[in-house]
């Protein structure tokens, strides 16, 4: 039986759901936005208003014990429509409150999802947000459970509130969230195929091969862009598995054995932790321990990393792996290797999506817009609300990436308003396409990613990169 969470009453209006619910604990309305307000926030192409709720739900922790988790749910303001579910998994955070349910920066993804007619779910993960205890970082089982139990809770909410769902399910995430998305769809297809059918997934820039490709900085004498990742993994796996060390000094050199452990309590930023780290992360590890990790395949850290690898399987749904070649934090070889293994395993519909020579942070926006537009092209639109989409095979945009010009060609001639929009939501070019092609002069635009939008009887969205 569901326990009512009265402690949340101090935060405002809360809807406590029916006692039969097995996963949903409570919902709290946080924000309501009209389509016009969303547009002013940079939500390009907002079709409707959105209501954002904080959701508390029951799940399990890294030891299989009952706990609660939180997340943000974005409900389109479209009465009478049925919605697909779209889940976005956020990247690495260290502060407990730097999460979607506290309206973090990545909550913007949820506003886009809701504004495009998806029921958007953004889990905070176990140990973050309102979930107690330490966050088990890149721990596949709890990443999956945080997603799966959130979806179950959202379904209970929708049933109680007479919100219709159309049965489609989309899963994505960026950075750590790419790993979480992969862990989730793996669990769904491997163990829960009778309950979940994934329409499409798009893991982006995720560390799917933790034990080899992404483990390089742990054994390397070279500097690494985000050295604070290493102690996050070490302390998380000690929390989850309990066998890496008896005391931090068994694994870490002084002063890191004393300075670092207290900093992973959810009250310090990644920048604060990085300031206590050497540029070469392997320098925090005891030499004997480091040698054992490198040479002994049965080393507990190596075994824990392998337990959380999520590349060696064959998805049965359409999957796109987004990445950028200059990613200095999550190496793009994760995506290339994962794709190769999945194809070798017999996967029929896994596609690599090369975002070009961008670093980890710059890769996020074009990847996420590409994912949103792909999901939008696959969703079953609510009758009478959405504009019919042009199929991607009807539009050819080249070259992409481009420098001084971009050509747009249509299979079938028509009349369309064409707009080029930057990542701040500002229209930087506007023209009318009459016929079947148009040449855009882009040499005077700043380098970066842009949204190309065509609107007429049908609509089309894609991301182009100017280099």
Cis peptide before 230 (omega within 30 of 0): no
What pLDDT is stored for residue 411 in this prediction?
A: 86
Q: CA-to-CA distance for 371 and 378, rounded, in angstroms?
A: 11
Q: CA-to-CA distance for 138 and 207, rounded, in angstroms?
A: 9
Query: How far from 348 is each of 10, 187, 312, 320, 399, CA to CA, in Å?
Result: 51, 19, 14, 12, 27
Pairing of strands 448-455, 459-466: antiparallel
Strand order in the sheet with 350-354: 14-15, 24-33, 49-60, 66-77, 119-123, 82-89, 164-174, 200-204, 319-323, 350-354
Q: pLDDT class for 244, splitting at 50, 70, 90? A: very high
Return the sign of the alpha-carbon dihedral for residues 340, 342, 345, 346. negative
Segment 418-423 shows an average pLDDT of 84
Q: CA-to-CA distance for 309 and 318, rounded, in angstroms?
A: 20
**Bridge partners for 51 per DSSP:** 32, 75
Tell which residue, 141, 188, 443, 454, has the closest CA to residue 319: 188
**Bridge partners for 59 per DSSP:** 67
Res. 1: pLDDT tops 90: no
Tell which residue, 148, 132, 3, has the closest CA to residue 63: 132
Res. 389: pLDDT tops 80: no
Decide if 338 contacts 352 (C-beta within 8 A): no
Res. 184: pLDDT tops 70: yes
Q: CA-to-CA distance for 460 and 411, rounded, in angstroms?
A: 13
Q: pLDDT class for 10, splitting at 50, 70, 90? A: very low
**Bridge partners for 420 per DSSP:** 429, 452
Pairing of strands 82-89, 164-174: parallel
Classify residue 11 by its DSSP letter.
G
Q: pLDDT class for 358, splitting at 50, 70, 90? A: very high
* Strand, coil or helix: 399: coil
What pLDDT is stored for residue 395 in this prediction?
A: 85
Q: pLDDT class for 3, splitting at 50, 70, 90? A: very low
Tell which residue, 131, 165, 154, 134, has the closest CA to residue 24: 154
Q: CA-to-CA distance for 221 and 241, rounded, in angstroms?
A: 27
What pLDDT is stored for residue 450 in this prediction?
A: 87
Q: State the distance between the two ends of the chain, measured CA to CA, in whole angstroms.
A: 57
What pLDDT is stored for residue 402 in this prediction?
A: 86
The domains of the chain, with CATH numbers, are 24-209+309-378 (3.40.50.1820), 213-308 (1.10.260.160), 395-466 (2.60.40.3080)
* Strand, coil or helix: 119: strand
Nearest 5°: CA angle at 278, between 275 and 281? 115
For the chain, the helix, strand and coil percentages under 3-state DSSP, each to the nearest 5: 30, 30, 40
Res. 9: pLDDT tops 70: no
Structure tokens, 311: 């590349």
Percent of the chain scoring above 70 in pLDDT: 93
Res. 334: pLDDT tops 80: yes
Structure tokens, 440: 């855009």
Percent of the chain scoring above 90 in pLDDT: 79
Query: How far from 403 is each of 210, 449, 467, CA to CA, in Å?
Result: 36, 12, 5
Decide if 155 contacts 120 (C-beta within 8 A): no
What pLDDT is stored for residue 457 in this prediction?
A: 76
Task: Output the pTM of the full model.
Answer: 0.88
Contacts of 275 (CB under 8 A, 6+ apart): none
What pLDDT is stored for residue 393 in this prediction?
A: 53
Segment 306-316 shows an average pLDDT of 99
What pLDDT is stored for residue 246 in this prediction?
A: 98
What pLDDT is stored for residue 390 in this prediction?
A: 54
Q: pLDDT class for 456, splitting at 50, 70, 90? A: confident
Q: How many CB atoms lie within 10 A of CB 190?
A: 10
What pLDDT is stored for residue 391 in this prediction?
A: 57
Res. 386: pLDDT tops 80: no
């Amino acid at each position: 039986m569901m326990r009512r969470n009265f402690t949340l009453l101090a935060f405002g209006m809360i809807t406590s759901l029916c006692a039969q619910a097995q996963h949903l604990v409570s919902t709290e309305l946080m924000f309501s936005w009209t389509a016009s307000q969303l547009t002013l926030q940079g939500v390009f192409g907002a079709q409707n208003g959105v209501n954002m709720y904080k959701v508390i739900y029951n799940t399990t922790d890294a030891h299989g014990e009952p706990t609660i988790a939180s997340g943000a749910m974005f409900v389109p303001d479209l009465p009478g429509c049925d919605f697909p579910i779209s889940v976005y998994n956020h990247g690495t955070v260290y502060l407990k409150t730097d999460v979607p349910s506290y309206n973090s920066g990545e909550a913007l993804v949820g506003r886009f999802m809701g504004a495009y007619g998806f029921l958007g779910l953004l889990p905070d993960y176990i140990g973050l947000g309102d979930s107690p205890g330490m966050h088990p970082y890149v721990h596949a089982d709890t990443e999956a459970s945080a997603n799966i139990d959130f979806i179950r809770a959202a379904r209970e909410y929708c049933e109680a509130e007479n919100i219709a769902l159309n049965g489609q399910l989309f899963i994505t995430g960026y950075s750590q969230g790419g790993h979480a998305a992969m862990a989730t769809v793996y669990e769904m297809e491997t163990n829960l195929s009778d309950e979940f059918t994934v329409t499409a997934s798009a893991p982006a820039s995720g560390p799917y091969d933790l034990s080899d490709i992404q483990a390089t900085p742990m054994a390397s004498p070279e500097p690494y862009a985000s050295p604070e990742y290493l102690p996050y993994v070490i302390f998380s796996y000690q929390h989850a598995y309990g066998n890496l060390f008896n005391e931090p000094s068994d694994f870490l050199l002084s002063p890191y054995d004393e300075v670092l452990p207290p900093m992973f309590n959810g009250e310090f930023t990644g920048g604060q932790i990085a300031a206590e780290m050497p540029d070469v992360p392997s320098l925090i590890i005891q030499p004997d321990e480091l040698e054992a990790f490198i040479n002994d395949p049965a080393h507990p850290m190596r075994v824990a990393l392998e337990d959380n690898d999520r590349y060696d399987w064959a998805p049965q749904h359409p999957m796109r792996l987004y990445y950028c070649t200059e990613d200095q934090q999550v190496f793009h070889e994760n995506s290339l290797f994962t794709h190769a293994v999945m194809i070798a395993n017999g996967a029929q519909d896994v596609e690599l999506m090369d975002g070009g020579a961008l670093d980890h942070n710059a890769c996020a926006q074009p990847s996420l817009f590409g994912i949103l537009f792909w999901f939008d092209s696959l969703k079953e639109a609510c009758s009478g609300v959405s504009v019919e989409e042009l199929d991607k095979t009807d539009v050819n945009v080249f070259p992409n990436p481009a420098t001084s010009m971009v050509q747009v060609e249509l299979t079938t001639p028509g009349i369309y308003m064409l707009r080029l929009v930057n990542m701040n939501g500002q229209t930087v070019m506007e023209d009318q396409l009459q016929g079947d092609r148009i040449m855009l002069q882009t040499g005077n635009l700043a380098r970066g990613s842009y949204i190309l939008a065509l609107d007429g009887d049908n609509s089309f969205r894609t991301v182009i990169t100017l280099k």
